[in-house]
Structure 1
């Protein structure tokens, strides 16, 4: 992997001439890695500016919202570039170390602190991204309506148009819409990370937790907790600390799969395959 010339020129103007580059492993959406210059080490992400307009501008805003809470370490945004062919995000480089003994407790307490930051409505002032897909955030005071119209329906419509779901599949989601007001409890909007799986939690040089790659919105905080269990669970100490700081409303276990329907649908649209079957199992569970 090589840094495109357009991005290299931008780096020279902002962080100095790169003298080394180490590609990051594991990313499936963006290109990225660690850049060394005379000014220090930085982490850089880049992508196609035309395919993903404003991707890093809105990610920068999301990181800023999380950082303002001062609850958990968030990488500092050094610079954002929206160019003709490429866009990029230059971040503080996080040097990983061994976790402290209270790492999971601090992560749980910190997430609870983030979730205490609220807003008058669900949503956000702008559209952002979940992976490489648009995440729509038109404000609403009604959580079930927001969940359906801004989270579920756009993904179903996209999957239908790309033939990842059939019309019969899509009809099941219309049935789900009618049940959401009974299934989803009301609670004040919370600032959430929005893409909280294990790959988006790091450890810094002090062994403290760091959150990266958010898809923020003012949403229902149970969305974050549910996603921590989509690809295996976080440590039990994390859940204990979170619950001690900000207890969940009873019945969360019954709602967990429903909340994870959103990221599963995102995976249907990004990767197809067995995720379609997983999505349909979930929707049928709640529409029987």
Structure 2
């Protein structure tokens, strides 16, 4: 594997360092090369190439947006020993602490960037001076499937956010029915789905480029700025990223205050936050088992009650 990696990177030096990392899904190793340090993620599962292709595309989109620092993606390779490899820039990170407020502000700017591009294009339609590099995304989805954990997400482009998000929940529930033969989530979801549009009354939701899995374990900082990594991006409602940000803690009040200074809370935010937490609870149930059943069912029951009031 290392000989193939050496050839693909075009480097005469490929030396493992003591630095590395990884999580519950993939292993990570840092290597010295002719061009400096790179970080290599490895996964030997049969679907690893799809997972890494999605992460690569996510990193490319976030890197181009240039609002929040991410590792620069380099290559995705099929591992001759099985699975796949994702190569990216190595960043010497530590846990997020002093840059929480900055991250909140930068994340909000990322989330509003596409809408601002749309406004600029609208203005330039009335002007003879136009910026041909502007690219507004007017649908919800992404060009490729991305994996939240190891579960792929169907990111087919959709005109309606409500429809797109409902499909994300539907996929999770279908998986629960298949893997666990559990009908409880389906029974409650069937009560929520017809009334779900009520949670978005009065909102003008424009597609925002999202990280997709923004929990505290996927953020860090350099000496001068925050960093986000391990994305599973798509274009969706900006509030979606705040769902899992509220799930495990790790983001302090400075993060949220600075985020909402840029993008103020909209009416009904707290209930929609539960709706977005639901995806991640179901996703964790599918990944890690029935220890997440109780909290998933609790959110579903809460949403049923909230919608009955409307």
What TM-score results when the alignment is normalised by the length of structure 1? 0.89
The answer on 1:280 being equivalent to 2:275 is no
TM-aligned CA deviation for residue 167 of structure 1: 2.1
Q: After the TM superposition, which residues 161-172 of structure 1 pair with which residues of structure 2 at under 5 Å, given as runs?
A: 161-163=178-180, 166-172=182-188
In the alignment, what sits opposite 1:87?
84
Structure 2, unaligned runs of 5 or more: 115-136, 306-310
Task: Give me the TM-score of the superposition, normalised by structure 2.
Answer: 0.83
> Are 1:11 and 2:11 counterparts?
no
Report 1:198-237 matches (<5 A).
198-204=216-222, 206-237=223-254
Question: What is the CA–CA distance in structure 1 between the aligned matches of 2:145 and 2:97, rounded to whole Å?
Answer: 36
> 1: distance between equivalents of 2:290 and 2:45?
28
1:117 deviates by 3.0
Q: Does the CA-based 8 Å contact 2:111-2:210 persist in structure 1? A: yes
In structure 2, the residue matched to 1:117 is 113
RMSD value, Cα: 2.0
CA deviation after TM superposition for structure 1 residue 91, in Å: 1.2
Describe the superposition over 1:184-213 as per-residue Cα deviations: whole angstroms up to 9, x where unpaired.
Answer: 354111111110001110112x23101100
Shift of 1:33: 2.1
Give the length in aligned residue pairs. 278
Query: In 2 relative to 1, CA 99–51 (structure 1 residues): closer, same or farther, beyond 3 Å?
Result: closer
Does the CA contact (< 8 Å) of 1:96 and 1:202 recur in 2? Answer: yes
Instruction: Name the larger-Rg structure.
Output: 2
Q: CA–CA distance in 2 between the matches of 1:207 and 1:99?
A: 11
**CA offsets 1:80-123 (integer angstroms, 9 cap, x no match):** 2124523111111111258685x122211110111013321111
Residue 172 of structure 1 deviates from its aligned partner by: 1.5
Looking at structure 1, the residues matched to 97 and 184 of structure 2 have their Cα atoms a distance apart, in angstroms, of 50
Q: Which residue of 2 aligns with 1:72?
A: 68
What SS does structure 2 have at the residue aligned with 1:62?
A: helix
Shift of 1:248: 2.3
- Are the equivalent residues in 2 in contact too, given 1:35–1:41 (CA < 8 A)? yes
2:133 matched residue in structure 1: none
Q: 1:129 aligns with which of 127, 134, 147?
A: 147
Structure 1 pair 70–51 and aligned structure 2 pair: CA distance change class (3 A): closer
Give distance in 1, aligned partners of 2:267 and 2:52: 37
What are structure 1's unaligned runs of at least 5 residues? 1-5
Equivalence for 1:53: 49
